[in-house]
Chain A
Amino acid sequence: DTGVSQDPRHKITKRGQNVTFRCDPISEHNRLYWYRQTLGQGPEFLTYFQNEAQLEKSRLLSDRFSAERPKGSFSTLEIQRTEQGDSAMYLCASSSDTGDSGNTIYFGEGSWLTVV
């Protein structure tokens, strides 16, 4: 499978615990994005990486959230001291910056987070 992969697919955690999600983009894609989707809504942009550089962070990304892409390949999204309002699906996506393929952004299957 050469698509965007995310791990874990589902996570249930107690309030106050830390969680980390991993995303492996399509191998030749240098752009990587994180989105958050709550029930009944469309995804909302969280952050963007060009290679290893984090170039934009949404105001939705509070201080408890941190994302990294240390070698410009896979990325991690960590949520510290989780709150019930963090319950959502976290979607990772990737794209290329070359030619028409740059018009297409490919998403993973998402990581569902439930904070109890």
Chain B
Amino acid sequence: AQKITQTQPGMFVQEKEAVTLDCTYDTSDPSYGLFWYKQPSSGEMIFLIYQGSYDQQNATEGRYSLNFQKARKSANLVISASQLGDSAMYFCAMRRPSGGYNKLIFGAGTRLAVHP
């Protein structure tokens, strides 16, 4: 069965520092996609970054990068130069590998607090 595990219920970081949010996944399919979403208190799930299982390079989007270690089945999110506005819940998700459409399986999330 496919599963996403986020072992850090909460993290805090000092403003302007970098922080890594952990995500491990379990799937037996060779083709899959991995996502990170940010959920502020307003509730909206904001797409941050995507990594395909066949992508050779780690995905980057501005201050966000994904540390993809396929053999370890990990897809950690790195946020560089943290800002106060980064305080939110962060969810790692995996796309169901077959069928083509984006049925996502989410982890339980990590609450990030950025301190000034």
- Residue A31 contacts which of B43, B50, B102 (CB distance < 8 angstroms)? B102
List the one stretch of B14-22, B65-73, B74-82, B104-112 in contact with chain A: B104-112
B50:A103 contact, CB within 8 angstroms? yes
For B107, what are the chain A residues with a Cβ–Cβ distance below 8 Å? 42
A95:B102 contact, CB within 8 angstroms? yes
Q: How far is the CA of A107 from the CA of B44 in the complex (A)?
A: 7
B104:A112 contact, CB within 8 angstroms? no
Looking at B102, B105, B106, B108, the one whose CB has the most chain A CB atoms below 10 A away is B102
Which residues of A84-105 are within 8 A (CB) of B?
A: 89, 91, 93, 95, 97, 102-105
Looking at A42, A43, A93, A107, the one whose CB has the most chain B CB atoms below 10 A away is A42
**With contacts A42-B91, A42-B93, A42-B109 known, is A89 near B43, CB below 8 A?**
yes
For A104, what are the chain B residues with a Cβ–Cβ distance below 8 Å? 47, 50
Which residues of A34-67 are within 8 A (CB) of B?
A: 35, 40-45, 48, 50, 55-56
Closest A residue to B103 by beta carbon equals A45
Q: How far is the CA of A44 from the CA of B107 in the complex (A)?
A: 10
Which residues of B6-45 are within 8 A (CB) of A?
A: 33, 35, 37, 42-45
**With contacts A40-B108, A43-B45 known, is A105 near B91, CB below 8 A?**
no
Closest beta carbon of chain A to B110's beta carbon, Å: 10
Closest A residue to B100 by beta carbon equals A97
For B54, what are the chain A residues with a Cβ–Cβ distance below 8 Å? none
In the complex, 29 of the A-B residue pairs with CB atoms within 8 angstroms, ordered by the A residue number, are A31-B101, A33-B102, A33-B103, A41-B108, A42-B91, A42-B109, A43-B91, A43-B106, A45-B104, A45-B105, A48-B103, A55-B101, A56-B99, A89-B43, A91-B45, A93-B45, A95-B101, A95-B102, A102-B102, A103-B52, A104-B47, A105-B35, A105-B102, A107-B37, A107-B47, A109-B43, A110-B43, A110-B45, A112-B43
Known: A43-B104, A107-B37. 11 other contacts (CB 8 A): A42-B91, A43-B106, A56-B99, A93-B102, A102-B102, A103-B52, A105-B102, A106-B47, A108-B44, A109-B42, A109-B43
